[in-house]
Structure 1
Amino acid sequence: MSDDHVYLALAEEHEDSARWAYGTGFEDPLHGVDTAVPAGVDTGRLAAECIALGDDALICAQRLAEWTTRAPELEEEVALANIGLDLLGQARLLYARAGQVDGSGRGEDAYAYFRDARDFRNVRLVELPCGDFAFSVTRLLVLSSWRLAHFQTLAAHPDPVLSAIAAKGVQELTYHRQYAAQWVVRLGDGTEESQRRLLAALEETAPHLDELFAAHDARDEVVDVLRQVTEEAGVPLPGGRPLPGAGRDGDHTEHLAPLLVELQSVARAHPDATW
């Protein structure tokens, strides 16, 4: 953005749309994409992939939303909210595709609001509480680096819809990773307290890396990114003993169910409502 003030910059970029935060004025990324499933594509595996990646995005977006009114600076509050909106948009597209190919005909709301915790397939790192700002940006760095590597691969997927979703997501995730990396370096190069918090965040996320790589093996690429960023930040990249279980198998932490209660409360209280 050319202007230091985030709101002025947003106004410049979206001057024809007062409701930019809700996606007004943006081209449909799937416009013109053939939604027919190509021959040879396993629809069960395709739907499972879309649901899992949609769950990752939805839960991460919900955690980022918790920073609204709590971020250390107003500009960071806006940035985190918009990253969350990017992820929410990815979840919507992925859920919609899952409903098209899994034979259920379900819409995106059915996946987001009317499944219990045991039915979600997100990796467990996304469901951990926000913690402090250092943990949230460190988690964002790890997740966006891993998700970016995955989406770069999926951009060549034989299913044209998943390929289009991934290609659009690559642009968004590149920014997410850049934003998180800049903050990690800033925290590592700050005070003793900010560096201590950053180290604690790295140690908390490290045990979850193996679960990510089991879901999509991008170990070399992701670890290389993390090593470059932590070296620039002046802190070591810690190792961590892998944790048992996997969110892809429905094995979640105790934090997911309460998060879903909050996320799903209105939809479940008014299941037939529209707005």
Structure 2
Amino acid sequence: MSDDHVYLSLAEGHDDGDARWAFGTGFEDPLHGVDTAVPEHVDAAELAARCLALGDDALVLAQRLAEWVTRAPELEEEVALANIGLDLLGQARLLYSRCGQSDGTGRTEDAYAYFRDAGAFRNVRLVELPNGDFAFSVLRLLVFASWRLAHFTELASASDPVLAAIAAKGVKELTYHRQYAAEWVVRLGDGTPESHARMRAALAAQAPYWSELFAAHDAREAVLADLHQVLAAAALPMPTVPPLPGRGRDGEHTEHLAPLLTELQSVARAHPEATW
């Protein structure tokens, strides 16, 4: 079947022609001309906590997407996933920088990314799960991008002008991430019996972790509407979302995060005074 209608519909309201380009390919500074002083009416501690959590989400999933380099089913998909990872890495860098400005520590993005242990990370647990097969990874990307897009759409009008600017740039990137993932979920779900079975297995494995996303943000109905639309086109059932004990936002993580961080942080920790 033709699945163009699914992701074209998802793109409504986000028709920027640059939405498909990765963070690393554009040179326009999203913070150009933005006053970086924390406004007096903004709770600096709350702002720092939000930026840290959103930065951690992006950094950890960027690392998981980087693991597909040399392993993706086709070169085109390898490049696409790498570029999406770069988008998320760019978001993480901006958010960590804002966190350092807001929490009064003046810490750099490297300090947040490379010199914290797993218990200090505040990412949702969905992003730290191992990649599994391609079906698992594109389904996770769909759910994450849909959720983050809803969040960033609201944050584009945040009281803090820096966070608002970061979110506005992120909306363009996340719109493409969601479209890309939706296309693959439909192709695999409505494809061969094998690909359909793999998508169903991915749904069953991930659904418990969706509850944490919905608890972390109040755009649940909008995100579920997105997922219903794509899953229906993919001939896949909408799973139940059972609550899962613990919260990554509170520093409670799966056993998979620490090894991921060990690999991510190894060079920086081995050469802590190095400049790049």
Query: What corresponds to 1:9 in structure 2?
Result: none
Query: What corresponds to 2:159 in structure 1?
Result: 158
Could you tell me how far 1:241 is from its partner in structure 2? 1.9
Mapping 1:107-186, distance limit 5 Å: 107-186=108-187
Deviations 1:38-88 (A, max 9, x none): 121000000000000000000000000000000011000000000000000
Could you tell me how far 1:22 is from its partner in structure 2? 8.0
Amino acid at match of 1:113: Y
Mapping 1:6-45, distance limit 5 Å: 23=24, 26-45=27-46
Could you tell me how far 1:23 is from its partner in structure 2? 2.8
Deviations 1:19-51 (A, max 9, x none): x97836511111111111112100000000000
Query: What corresponds to 1:210 in structure 2?
Result: 211
Asked which structure has the greater RCO (Cα within 8 Å, sep 6+), the reply is: 2
Superposed CA RMSD in Å reads: 1.5
Mapping 1:214-233, distance limit 5 Å: 214-233=215-234
In 2: Cα distance, 1:180 partner to 1:265 partner: 30
Query: What corresponds to 1:271 in structure 2?
Result: 272
Amino acid at match of 1:167: A
TM normalised by structure 2 equals 0.91
Mapping 1:81-96, distance limit 5 Å: 81-96=82-97
Is contact 2:190-2:196 (8 Å) kept? yes
TM normalised by structure 1 equals 0.91
In 1: Cα distance, 2:107 partner to 2:115 partner: 11
In 2: Cα distance, 1:22 partner to 1:228 partner: 28
Could you tell me how far 1:218 is from its partner in structure 2? 1.3
Is contact 1:203-1:240 (8 Å) kept? no
In 2: Cα distance, 1:147 partner to 1:136 partner: 16
Mapping 1:243-254, distance limit 5 Å: 243-254=244-255
Query: What corresponds to 2:5 in structure 1?
Result: none
Deviations 1:204-262 (A, max 9, x none): 11111110011112110111111100100111111132210000000000000000000
Is contact 1:58-1:88 (8 Å) kept? yes
Is contact 2:65-2:81 (8 Å) kept? yes
Q: Secondary structure at the match of 1:23?
A: helix
Q: Count the aligned residue pairs.
A: 258
Is contact 2:211-2:241 (8 Å) kept? no
In 2: Cα distance, 1:93 partner to 1:266 partner: 22
In 2: Cα distance, 1:225 partner to 1:22 partner: 24
**Identical amino acids, percent of aligned pairs:** 76
**Which runs of at least 4 in structure 1 moved beyond 2 Å after TM superposition?**
20-25
In 1: Cα distance, 2:23 partner to 2:29 partner: 13
Gap regions ≥5 residues in structure 1:
1-12, 14-19
Amino acid at match of 2:50: E
Query: What corresponds to 1:10 in structure 2?
Result: none
